[in-house]
Amino acid sequence: MTLLDRWLEFADRLSRYAVWFGGALVLASALLVSVDVLLRKLLLVSLGGADELSGYAFAIGTAWALGFTLLRRANVRVDALYSRLPAPLCAVLDIIALLSLGLFIGLLAQQAWDVLATSISFEARATTPLQTPLWIPQSLWVIGLGLFLFTLLPLLLRSLLALVTGDLATVRRLAGARTIEEDAADESAHTAALRVKE
């Protein structure tokens, strides 16, 4: 249990850096597209490749943010029925949800790896004016998916261990859908932190 908790703490720190990296990529692409639009409008000149680079940035940024989203339980879940179910059933459903998510991302990562390997073997380049070597954005995308799986594995194992030992509160804290009360408490803490800064 201690090993899993340490793994989760490390994954949490790593996911924070990853989400900052992903967010910076998306922000940089938004700035690039904005500059390109302004140049086209005002000077009738284009930087070229802004749309291509922003597509890469969005795919990479999304992949790198998945682990952070998972650990914060910020993914969208339809919980109209879930909140009315007994706690043991909710815990089992939470584990099934994590397993399903892991299976999906695992298959996606395997396919992404195959695409990357093909791009490397054929020295594939984008069919755009930039002719970007495709292994560069694809590598970053695969790394993001790998980081997600690295985060998911200890979360799943720790949740399973909690379920087996009957610690339903831990299963809910790690894998359960966020409640309105948790969201309200986070918003209150965020607002209080902003007031302190002012």
Taking the chain (198 residues) in consecutive chunks of 10 residues, what is each chunk's mean pLDDT? 90 97 96 93 87 94 96 84 90 95 97 98 94 97 97 96 95 89 81 79
Residue 31 has what pLDDT? Answer: 96
Residue 187 has what pLDDT? Answer: 84
Q: What is the DSSP string of 81-97?
A: TGGGS-HHHHHHHHHHH
Residue 1 has what pLDDT? Answer: 65
Count of other CB atoms within 10 angstroms of residue 70: 22
In the chain, the amino acid numbered 122 is: F
Residues contacting residue 124 through CB under 8 Å, at least 6 positions apart = 118, 133, 134, 135
In the numeric block, the tokens 């390997």 are attached to: 117
Residue 30 has what pLDDT? Answer: 95
